[in-house]
Structure 1
Amino acid sequence: MPAQQKPDEVTVQGIKEKLDNFADLENRELTAASGTGRLLFIKSITDPQIINRSIIAVFYEMNDPAAFAEYLAHYPGSKAVEDGKQAMDLMLGGYACVEVEGRLIFFDALKAETSGVSETVTESITQGPSDALTENLAVNLNLIRRRYQSAELKMESMLLGNISRTKAAILYDDSRVNHQVLEELRQRLQTLRIDMLQASGELEKYISSDKIRIFPKTIVTERPDRVVFNLAEGKIAILLDTTGFAMILPVIFNDFFVAMDDKIQLPFVGRFLKLLRIMGVAMTLWLPALYVAFTSYNPEIIRVQIALLIAGSRATVPYPSFVEVLLMLIMMEFLTEASLRLPRAIGPTATTVGGLILGQAATAAGLVGNIMIILVSVVAISNFMIPLNMMSFSIRVLKYLFVMAAAAVGLVGVVVCLVGFTMYLCSQRSFGQPYFKMFVLDSLGASDSKKGGGS
């Protein structure tokens, strides 16, 4: 490694040479009756109001370069550099370089272009707080600390990404967190070698120990109340600057079926709603596969009336049942993706009308049966019952594995897939913690009694 520059080798001229061809680099000389100074900053990432109010105006009002240098040195956020690399990192991070009385002082003047606190979009709620995390890390920390007013809530910060230099904050309750999990997370983040990091979901891929993953091992959420609730359960939250989502770890399979509404409802109602979501996952995974198995391999298992009904609806279908299922499932995936990508003004209308026309036309032409249209609609609706999108996407993909197994060997293939699916979940770990732990006490009161439980 090259030797570090000495502090006296860091000069404004040296910084200008390293920032050569920066069209938005501003180099100004400050001249007063009592002395001069120099100001260097990158216009596109610094706030001109901060520079005018806190640097330029103060320089001319004080009319004393020595006192001005002391003012800057003691201002919150100001830093003195130790080497040239640190000076470049600060300049590219939104700091202004001020040279006065032979001293170089870096003043925090970052311009944070972010949206204000808005309502949640991806995780809707019928009761409770509706504010969402923003792209500003300071605002997100404010939203969380307002809700979690405890001296045990600790925060560690670091920079991730060689190019992006993304600010990351690690939050945890020191009296409840599993310190082995915390230490493992620190080691993974410290050994992380990436250039760009812009999203919490992207970080989840980099710090995971599994090469092949079917299910998410962390929760990515935009809700500060979900972050606070999980912190109280002894979990760890990672917040990134420039993204309005937080990452929570470690997690268990059961956590992905918990909506924040469940904590507000009566306990019996909350558990009933969670049961509905688990039933929805089962229907998403099994209904298409069972349709293929019962239609092509094992019609004797179902009642005769239902078997005849299915056979009658498929009388005009010219291909096997698994082709029919795959065709309709893929068309439903097309509609789902189109509804996400189209502009909000026309997306729901276009996909609803398109789905109705496609279903009616395909049935009238004899390409698919009427029961298949009902089945695909049920599968699509039940898949959207999962509160967190990352698990919803995993289930969307996994159902095709069940369909292919049913197409190969019928009901036996579905059972084998189900056993393999369960064995896979039982073998998984989230930062060393058991992943498939379904039946746990999920009330906040019960969680409070477990100190340091990493779940």
Structure 2
Amino acid sequence: MLKKAQKLVASSTVPWIIEKLKPTFDFTHKPLQIDNKQIELLYIKTVVNGDKLYSTVIKPFFEMQSLKNIEAYFNSLPNQQEVQSKDQLLVELTKGSVLIVIKDNILLFDFKQVHLDVPLPTNVEPTIQGPQYALSEDLITNINMIRQRYHQPSLRVEMYSVGKKVHQSVAIIYDEAIVKKDALKEIKSKIKDIEKDLVLASADLIRCLNSKKRSLLPTTILTERTDRISYNLSGGKVIIIMDGDSNAILAPAVFFDFMTSMEDEYHPYWVSKFTSSLRYIGFFSCIALPGLYVGLTSYNPDIVRVELALSVAGSRVGVPYPSYIEVFIMLIVMEFLTEASIRLPKAVSATATTVGGLILGTAVTEAALASNILIIIVSAVAISTFVIPINEMSFAIRVSRYVVLIFTTIAGMTGLALALIGLVMWMANKSSYGEAYFKLFIQGKNKET
């Protein structure tokens, strides 16, 4: 029996589809006929798995005796899709589906040809222990990998489509028993309201989901790790995966989530606490060290030991401009090196940036354009930036330290203190899909503290 949703009549639908797709060279309209049996196949051959189509549809058609048996066989296939409208048929054909016309009825099957269904190695979030393979760029493969790690009957997968022109498939995955209902409702509403023509990546989808387009602090996590996904599912979070992207979106996310590495779950207790403390020290160093240098050298050198104040002052002998200009120039140069290391080919990026940084640091200090202590501080800031395990927060902190530097330049150590207090107040006043941004809670086992 055909599904009730399949109400389209082939006599009017097939000519309409042929008219829409005939101009493209890879569109195929293939009638099959033998004896008193006849069916029609419509598909786009460049996105269809030809071997699977032959073994599943064409070969059985010629082997079966009656059209009734063929129709019953087609309706028993597990990859049959529900037919809802003509426009939906066109979109599904472009994704790799095959339309079969039998007895003036329309059947739709998924025969998508996938070349990117191999799990990728973890590049963005590497760990010494734990799984070493990340998600792939195929949506079905990613859902399979998640289900292999999270065996709960309450796990739900809902499919949506985003982008008026690309119609990218998006899956929302959550554990119905423990999911945060308000966050789930808000995420679904925002995905349905997306009006953008092109949504090509998960990072682009995050921008569409963000109600405040110019917000600096991230409210979602972009991850490639299946163990992080399982960990967050067990904490009631919502997972969003887009077809064609090897990253998943985790929401809602609060500040402390961005400071968590999956290795914290694999190390002994005290080792995990120690490495976690290092991240928070690095976070503070990344934000405060440039401003602290300016405050100590230009405004309040008396708050440190005399020996240290004299050492800092002696290192700046011959520097022709104020400390805040010195810091700003060196931070910008450091940003250049960071961006160069990202954009250059991997074979030369490490060598080019390391050699460039060494030569530049030596030349700058010898030319008395910056102090030796500032070179140490800038190097420490650069290292501290990469201690933060999630890149979205790392990028936000890179921008925030310039705000802190400006406040310190204007008001010295008082400005530094006000800037840091203001940053904490800003985070405390922020929310992520109904969750307080400074909320302390444990993702695993669905506990809150």
Question: Normalised by the shorter chain, which TM-score bucket?
Answer: over 0.9
1:73 shift after superposition = 3.0
Unaligned runs of 5+ in 2: 1-5
Higher mean alpha-carbon deviation, 244-253 vs 209-218, is at: 209-218
State how far apart, in whole Å, the 1-side matches of 2:65 and 2:352 are. 66
Counterparts of residues 272-283 of structure 1 (less than 5 Å)? 272-283=274-285
1:100 shift after superposition = 3.1
1:24 shift after superposition = 1.5
Higher mean alpha-carbon deviation, 68-77 vs 270-279, is at: 68-77
1:77-99 CA deviation, whole Å, 9 max, x = no partner?
Answer: 22463432222122122111222
Change (3 A) 1:189 1:372: same
Counterparts of residues 332-371 of structure 1 (less than 5 Å)? 332-371=334-373
Counterparts of residues 91-102 of structure 1 (less than 5 Å)? 91-102=93-104
SS at match of 2:395: helix
Q: Tell whether 2:248 aligns with 1:246.
A: yes
**Contact 2:318–2:368, Cα closer than 8 Å, also in 1:** yes
State how far apart, in whole Å, the 1-side matches of 2:34 and 2:316 are. 90
**Contact 2:168–2:242, Cα closer than 8 Å, also in 1:** yes
1:29 shift after superposition = 2.8
State how far apart, in whole Å, the 2-side matches of 1:365 and 1:21 are. 66
**Contact 2:312–2:373, Cα closer than 8 Å, also in 1:** yes
What is aligned with 1:36? 38
State how far apart, in whole Å, the 2-side matches of 1:294 and 1:395 are. 22
**Contact 1:159–1:166, Cα closer than 8 Å, also in 2:** yes
Q: Tell whether 2:151 aligns with 1:170.
A: no
2:56 alignment partner, one of 39, 54, 57: 54
Q: Tell whether 2:192 aligns with 1:190.
A: yes
Higher mean alpha-carbon deviation, 271-280 vs 304-313, is at: 304-313
Higher mean alpha-carbon deviation, 112-121 vs 272-281, is at: 112-121
SS at match of 1:386: coil
Please, what is the CA RMSD of the aligned residues? 1.9
What is aligned with 2:3? none
Normalised TM-score (structure 1): 0.93
Counterparts of residues 223-302 of structure 1 (less than 5 Å)? 223-302=225-304
State how far apart, in whole Å, the 2-side matches of 1:345 and 1:211 are. 36
Unaligned runs of 5+ in 1: none
What is aligned with 1:388? 390
1:253 shift after superposition = 0.7
1:117-168 CA deviation, whole Å, 9 max, x = no partner?
Answer: 1321100111111110111112111211111111122222222222221222
What is aligned with 1:420? 422
1:25 alignment partner, one of 27, 44, 64: 27
Q: Tell whether 2:126 aligns with 1:124.
A: yes
What is aligned with 1:206? 208
1:397 shift after superposition = 1.0
1:327 shift after superposition = 1.0
SS at match of 2:313: helix
State how far apart, in whole Å, the 2-side matches of 1:307 and 1:419 are. 26
> Which residue identity is paired with 2:318?
T
**Contact 1:10–1:84, Cα closer than 8 Å, also in 2:** no
> Which residue identity is paired with 2:220?
T
What is aligned with 1:87? 89
SS at match of 2:346: coil
Q: Tell whether 2:302 aligns with 1:307.
A: no
> Which residue identity is paired with 2:101?
E
State how far apart, in whole Å, the 1-side matches of 2:12 and 2:109 are. 16
Identity of aligned residues (%): 38
Change (3 A) 1:129 1:82: closer
Q: Tell whether 2:8 aligns with 1:7.
A: yes
**Contact 2:203–2:222, Cα closer than 8 Å, also in 1:** yes
> Which residue identity is paired with 1:309?
S
What is aligned with 2:405? 403
1:221 shift after superposition = 0.5
1:221-278 CA deviation, whole Å, 9 max, x = no partner?
Answer: 0001001011111111111111111111112111111101111112222122111101
**Contact 2:235–2:442, Cα closer than 8 Å, also in 1:** no
Change (3 A) 1:107 1:154: closer
What is aligned with 2:109? 107
State how far apart, in whole Å, the 2-side matches of 1:102 and 1:200 are. 40
1:437 shift after superposition = 2.0
Length, aligned pairs only? 443
**Contact 1:405–1:417, Cα closer than 8 Å, also in 2:** yes
Q: Tell whether 2:43 aligns with 1:69.
A: no
State how far apart, in whole Å, the 2-side matches of 1:159 and 1:414 are. 46
1:441 shift after superposition = 4.8
Higher mean alpha-carbon deviation, 34-43 vs 288-297, is at: 34-43
State how far apart, in whole Å, the 2-side matches of 1:157 and 1:40 are. 24
1:403 shift after superposition = 1.1
What is aligned with 1:180? 182
